[in-house]
Amino acid sequence: MKFKKVFIVDDDKVFHFIIKKLLLKNNIETVPVFFENGLDAIIELKDKIDFENDLPDLILVDINMPIMDGWQFLEEFRTIKNQLKKQPLIYLISSSNDSVDLNKSADFKKEITSYLLKPMDGEQINKIF
């Protein structure tokens, strides 16, 4: 198993459902933890900062969310990443193929592994996992 613990940071309940189904369908055994905004995920990361086994191996984060969007999440992540006992891989997952978002993702090349478009499918899931 490549990723034991995964954070899914997305306010879309349908996306949560799709991810669960894709993981199951592709026999990917992992423990997804769902957050509906970036702030809740950052709070969880800060709470687990000293506990390597409780930190995620992978974070899938949407751009457009209430309270704290994906860009704000990445800005905040930058401030704590050096304190984390292990570094998770981060994928931006968005339905936006707008060049502004694609260009902005380049500003976070040290934080993110890739920018993927929704809807996700089995092929994308297998590339990640």
pLDDT of residue 2 exceeding 90, the answer is no
Which residue has tokens 């997305």?
A: 10
Q: How high does pLDDT run on average in the chain? A: 94
Mean pLDDT of 37-45: 98
Domains of the chain: 5-128 (3.40.50.2300)
pLDDT of residue 1 exceeding 80, the answer is no
Q: E strands of the chain, at which residues?
A: 5-9, 31-35, 58-62, 89-94, 114-117
Q: Which residues contact 27 (CB under 8 A, 6 or more apart)?
A: none
Question: What does the pLDDT read at residue 91?
Answer: 97
Question: What does the pLDDT read at residue 4?
Answer: 87
- pTM confidence score: 0.94
At 49-88, the pLDDT tens digits run 988 889 999 999 999 999 999 999 999 999 999 999 899 9
Which residue has tokens 């899938």?
A: 60
